[in-house]
Every structure is written in C-alpha cells, then in structure tokens.
Chain A
C-alpha cells in the first residue's frame, strides 16, 4: 500500500513571496502519478498540478511548480509570487498508473497555507 506524508501541518508566506510545501511518499510501484490539490475555505477541491513519474521534467502551471525527486520519493510544491487567494489547505496525492487501481487517490494529511498581506 502507498503512503503519502506531508510533514508541515501549517505554513505561512508573505504576499508576493515564494513558499514551498513538502510531500514524501512511499511506494513499490514504478509507474504512477502525483497531484497537488488545493482546498480553500469553500472546501471545494481544486486540482493545482500533476506530475507523471516517468517524466523527468518538473511540471509547471503558471505560478505553481513542483520539484519531483523520484529516487528520494519527494514531491514538493513551489508557489511563486504568492497571492491572498492562494490561502488554502493543500493536499498531496498519489495515484497508481493503470491496472486495477481505477484512479484511486491516496492523500497526505494536508498543509494549511496562510498568506499575509
């Protein structure tokens, strides 16, 4: 079974600054996907970014980028030029590729991000 660990229960950042959220995972699989989801106070889960394990290139979506270290089983999220609207709970999630996994996600415990004006 896979496990996902987010060791930072809370993080804070000043508006316009950069913050990095950490995530580690444990798996014996070689082909998988990793995701970061954002959950604002509305509690709607929003997909932020995804990474394919077979790709060495780190995924980027506008101000959001990841640092994917497959050997270390690490998947951190970097938010650049932080905005007040980035304040939310962030979840790291793991998904096995194909087979009988049917897209099941294993989530970390979440990191609450506070953005200070």
Chain B
C-alpha cells in the first residue's frame, strides 16, 4: 500500500532535548512538507522540500531543522531553541498536476515536551 508514515504517533521529551520526527513516503512524490498544528489554529508550514538535497523555510522555521537525503524521507528535528515545541506535527507529500500540487498527509505525531 502506498502512503505516508510518521513515527512515532506520540513522543515525549524533556525540555532542552532535541528530538527528530520521522516522515517516510512510498508514493514517489517529489515534494514534501512539514506542518505544525496547535489547538484552535490551522496548520502552519515549517519547512518544505521540492527535491532531494534542497529545502526551504516555511512560515515558522525558527527552532526546527530538516534534511532531505532521500526522496522518500524528510525528517524534522525540533531543537531546544524552539520555544513552544508541544504540538501536533503533520508531514505531507504532493504530486504535481500541471501547476497544482495535491498534498497527501501522514497520520501525524503528537509531541509533548515537559
């Protein structure tokens, strides 16, 4: 089955620790994205990548880092510099139809930092 997997579903960390969230896709999509969702708010873009070894900052990139060494994988590291890391994180990938990118989402990771 093709799809996007994120692991783990729930993640707990102590303040001051870096943590890496996994995102893997086997849809052969070129573009991948990371979004953050907070209660009562819509999704906000953290980072996105159009191709391997290339990525750009989104609207709220401070305190986060990413890598794109393989087409299938786009891990997100939440660093200790991120002031409010507790949130629900969603990874997406997209297929291109002409000028439109249709995004498909993974199941998400709930990160709690105490």
The reply to whether the CB of B1 lies closer than 8 angstroms to some CB of chain A is: no
The reply to whether the CB of B114 lies closer than 8 angstroms to some CB of chain A is: no
Q: What are 11 A-to-B residue pairs whose CB atoms are below 8 Å? A: A9-B40, A45-B43, A45-B105, A50-B100, A91-B42, A91-B43, A104-B33, A105-B33, A105-B43, A105-B103, A109-B40
The reply to whether the CB of B74 lies closer than 8 angstroms to some CB of chain A is: no
Tell me the number of A-to-B contacts counted with CB atoms below 8 Å: 64
4 extra interface residue pairs, beta carbon distance < 8 Å, beyond A45-B92, A102-B31: A44-B108, A45-B105, A97-B100, A102-B48
Cβ–Cβ contact B100 & A95, under 8 A? yes
Cβ–Cβ contact A45 & B31, under 8 A? no
With A50-B102, A95-B100 already in contact, the answer to whether A102 and B50 are too (CB < 8 A) is: yes
Q: Which residues of B contact A91 (CB under 8 A)?
A: 42-43
| Total chain A interface residues with beta-carbon distance under 8 A | 26
Select the residue from B35, B88, B90, B105 with max chain A CB neighbours within 10 A: B105
A91 to chain B, nearest CB (A): 6
Contact residues, B44-73 vs A (CB, 8 A): 44-45, 48, 50, 56, 58
Cβ–Cβ contact B31 & A110, under 8 A? no
The reply to whether the CB of B20 lies closer than 8 angstroms to some CB of chain A is: no
Cβ–Cβ contact A97 & B88, under 8 A? no
Contact residues, A83-117 vs B (CB, 8 A): 91, 95, 97-98, 102-110
Contact residues, A20-58 vs B (CB, 8 A): 31, 33, 42-47, 50, 52
The reply to whether the CB of A4 lies closer than 8 angstroms to some CB of chain B is: yes
**B29 (CB) vs chain A CBs: closest residue:** A103
Cβ–Cβ contact A103 & B42, under 8 A? no
**A108 (CB) vs chain B CBs: closest residue:** B42
